[in-house]
Amino acid sequence: MNYGFTGDGVDLDACTASIRRGSKSFHIASLLLPRGTRQAAHALYAFCRHSDDLIDDQARRPDALLRLRQRLDRIYEGMPCDHACDRAFERIVSGHSIPKTIPLSLLDGFAMDMVDRRYRSIAEVKQYAARVASTVGLMMSLVMRTGDAWTLARAADLGLAMQLTNIARDVGEDARNGRLYLPLDWLRNAGIEGDAFLRDPRFTPALAGVVKRLLDEADRHYLLGHAGIARLPAGCRHAIRTAALTYQDIGRCIAQNGYDSVSQRARTTLLRKLSLVLRASRPVILCPDRVAMAASAPADPSVARLVAAAADAFALAERQRVATESQGSQIERVTSILMDLHRRRIEDRRVRRLQRWQKVAHLG
């Protein structure tokens, strides 16, 4: 079965080059996907990466976000702009019934970055993570033709976990760029004033406690995400599990560094990544109480609206597919009956001709 992309080879090559340059971890994981799904994933990543780069560019035009929204409008109108990633992404959204609200939410997350917003609580941090990361997880799930609400919620959990890990890893780098994603209430409880930290980013044991708390929250979502991987198509599980374990390992490196993400940056070596690829070939074993907890877990409030939109779009597409196949089956049955009648008429004419010849021969 082909799960995805059948577009122009030049566009696909450009998209593949984008993921190879932008994320070695995701590129390695994507190589484990079935060919069609891998190509669709590259197209999806390329559009998201291109959009993110435009927003992060210090020389960006003031109307960069507006222009991205206009490009997205054209994609959903079936008339993408002359960019390889736009053309490829248009094929993905039309071929996999991705509702527009999901990539729009991704752009909303980029808008939050543009204003250097502060986040008062972990709930607000996760609202941001839902937009910039869970949206990608939801689109990937739809690309893999998996769209029931529970599995979509678990895909969104993986997105939340990975983004929380990103935030934990980049505390110092973000602060030096004037950005702060850690929950302000957690910082206050640890005796850290957000603006003072931004003026002079320094690692302290108190900050380590905040980073650890963030990674603990990420681990809770990783657990839920791993439970959901079992619902994905068998050929896709290894790749998604590889991506999840690779990001979890970043958290492990941060912990080994004493949760110091200010004076050092956690990194995973290529050899370590390859070992995780091997480990990911087998399911992550969860204890029974955690399996039961995951089975009944609702979507996180930060992603509930997006999960519902994705599930509704998938259900509608499935109903349309079944109706089309049913209509096609009915047409095939009618066609078969007509062809059978036609064959019978031909056979009846042949028999009558033969009978006439035999009668003539007998009279002669």
Q: What is the dihedral of CA 249, 255, 257, 262, to 10 degrees?
A: 100
Q: Residue 361: pLDDT band by 50, 70, 90 thresholds?
A: low
Neighbours of 87 (CB within 10 A): 21
The domain made up of 116-306 has a fold known as Farnesyl Diphosphate Synthase (1.10.600)
> Measured between alpha carbons, how far is 138 from 154 in angstroms, rounded to an integer?
9
pLDDT score of 359 more than 70: no
Of 163-167, 330-334, 356-360, which has the strongest mean pLDDT? 163-167
Residue 69 has pLDDT above 90, yes or no: yes
Written as one string, the DSSP assignment of 156-219 is: HHHHHHHHHHHHHHTHHHHHHTT---S-HHHHHHTT--HHHHHHS----HHHHHHHHHHHHHHH
Residue 192, both tokens: 């850290």
8 Å CB contact between 183 and 217: no
- For residue 328, the model assigns a pLDDT of 56
Q: Rounded to a whole number, what is the distance in angstroms from the first to the last CA of the chain?
A: 65
Give the residue extent of every domain in the chain: 1-98, 116-306
Band (8; pLDDT cuts 50, 70, 90): low
Q: Mention every residue, 6+ apart, whose C-beta is less than 8 A from residue 39.
A: 4, 5, 6, 7, 12, 15, 16
Domains 1-98 and 116-306 share a fold: yes
CATH number of 1-98: 1.10.600.10
Q: Please, which residues have CB within 8 angstroms of residue 338's CB and are 6 or more apart in sequence?
A: none
- Which pLDDT band, with edges at 50, 70 and 90, does 364 fall under? low
**pLDDT score of 343:** 72
The first and second tokens of residue 74, run together, are 């054209």
Q: What is the per-residue pLDDT for 120?
A: 97
d(CA 194, CA 211): 14
Coil, helix or strand for 309?
helix
Confidence (pTM): 0.85
Amino acid identity of residue 67, one-letter, is: R
pLDDT digits (tens, 9 = 90+) for 108-120: 999 998 887 999 9
